[in-house]
Amino acid sequence: MRILAGASALGTICSWFGIGGLNCTEGFMSCLFSSLFAPLLFLLSFGLLFWLGFLVLTLLADFILFNLALESSLVIILETLLIGGLFVFWGFYYDYPLWFFLVGIYVASQWLRWKTILHLLEQDKTQA
């Protein structure tokens, strides 16, 4: 009886993660693998594809905005709004929360990039 109660609880937990219709009585690992399969498939296919596309878009925006002689902080803010905005739009449009995860990664990488640029500019000022 305890085994059936545990399997039922595991099935309920799996259904919380959006695995409706999956029979999770086979074991925890099969339930866990099936719940992680869709996000991993997304990250390994669409995630990498779009990440490379946004990397190219970032490099193109860098080239254009830095050639306009804008300040580096403004360039990074504009890039983050443009590209992060596309991630957020697609997250709402496709109703898929992993886009928001990619927004977090992108914003964090832009923040690190901004801090590095500011650090390099401070070093140039002290050496001059």
pTM for this entry: 0.54
Task: State the Cα–Cα distance between residues 123 and 72, nearest whole angstrom.
Answer: 15
Please, what's the b/e burial string for 50-81 (b: 16 or more CB within 10 A of its CB; e: otherwise)? beeebeeebeebeeebeeeeeebeebbeebbe
pLDDT digits (tens, 9 = 90+) for 81-102: 888 888 788 778 877 777 788 7
**Residue 3 banded pLDDT, cuts 50, 70, 90:** very low
